Amino acid sequence: MNGSLVLTDDTAAVSKVPWFNASAVASDVRGNGDGRLDLCVVHSMPPCTGAGVFTLNDVEAAPVVLSRRWLTTGEKFHGFVCNSGNANACTGEQGLLDAETMSWEASRKADAPAGSFLVCSTGRIGEPMPMDRIVPGIHECVGTLSHLPAAAQHASQAILTSDTRPKGCLAQWETQGRTLTLGGFAKGAGMIEPNMATMLAFLLTDVKMGQGLLQEVLADAVRKSFNRISIDGDMSTNDTVLLLANGTSEEVVSEKTPQALEAFQEAVGHACLDLAEKIVSDGERITKVVRVQVEGAPDDAAAEKVGRCIGNSLLVKTSWYGSDPNWGRLVHAAGYARVGVRMESVDLYYEDVPALLQGVPQVQNRDGWKEVVSAGRFTIRICLNQGTGACTILSTDLTEGYVDFNKSE
């Protein structure tokens, strides 16, 4: 992190980004009358350049189809509308019409060009959208847009499903004597698997940047953050990360300003990493967060395969839950990544405590292994000693609580 970048935990980060306003309401998307915030609108009066990264699932929710399509047009956007409680997934042609209606209504009420609001949804799959409640909710949101911190906090709460807490961050840095800002908030707690998670993340900035470069910056940051987390190995139909830049700082960032571009890439990268870690830390009924560092692989792609196999292994995850330093499960998971792991070359560490050196078990350290995996957070480092490839995956344990929570909806 460069010396000028300051990253802080802030669920009201939207309110710190110039000319972005937010609002959230309880529109009873779930139909249970519990008064829960479940719909938000974020709006920029100046038009924004937009970028997005979406799920790789072959089954895409209607908002993903719509937002992906619109972002490829190069048009400018004025914000987004998002609901929780209903994913608008597997809802056919009507689902697409409903997603379009959400955008049109937000645009109309905000006096913005038609289709200038992107759309996101999260929640239960296969249920029709309760548009008779969502449309009035959008109207109320647009009518109460505010730059106050409380409005931004409410927006970060309205997107939550099984999360236990909102997740947000604020990045600020200096470029040519000018303070630039990037604010973000996210949701995610279950169906979390690299590429991406069951997650939504929204990043907003006052930087001025072209759409193509903005997309490149976001895609690279997502690849190194949200695409390297795993809770349960399930990939959602709705995963979306959006980045909107309204350019109100008048600070133009491009390939012609390499230092400013590097600073912006760093800000986006660190914000994505921060939100990704908060998602993993809030995994459904987890008790442990584990950082799996793979080093010395033939190349980065091989390191990522090994990390994913370890991070997604049910046997590995259940051993972590039991505070069992079962390095055999780690090695067998690394082996079925099929990247040519040679057991006689493997070094494995629980934090700094050796478990294997050149494939030889360091059994005298058994108590040290146990102490490490009994903690709520720890790092496992596996060095294959076969090259310079490296990758880090954030994962969790798998608990009875997760099974109990997810056995029915």
- Which active-site residues does the annotation give? 198
| Contact predicate 389/298, CB 8 Å | yes
Distance CA(286)–CA(273), nearest Å, equals 19
How many other CB atoms sit within 10 Å of the CB of residue 259? 11
Distance CA(363)–CA(375), nearest Å, equals 20
Encoded tokens for 55: 């799920």
In the block, residue with structure tokens 């010396």: 3
| Contact predicate 244/48, CB 8 Å | yes
369-387 as b/e: b if 16+ CB within 10 A: bebbbeeeebebbbbbebb
Distance CA(377)–CA(42), nearest Å, equals 34
Angle between helices 92-109 and 131-143 (to 10 degrees): 20
301 φ/ψ angles, rounded to the nearest 5 degrees: -65, -40
DSSP 378: E
Distance CA(202)–CA(71), nearest Å, equals 15
Which residue intervals of 314-390 are DSSP H helices? 314-321, 327-335, 366-373
The residues that bridge with 242 in the sheet, in sequence order, are 52, 202
User: Which is nearest to 195 in space by CA: 243, 233, 242?
Assistant: 233
Distance CA(39)–CA(83), nearest Å, equals 4
Over the Cα atoms of the chain, what is R_g? 22
User: Which is nearest to 203 in space by CA: 45, 42, 31, 398?
Assistant: 42
242 three-class SS: strand
| Per-residue CA distances from 408 to 31, 78, 111, 312 (Å) | 18, 38, 42, 22
387 φ/ψ angles, rounded to the nearest 5 degrees: 165, -160
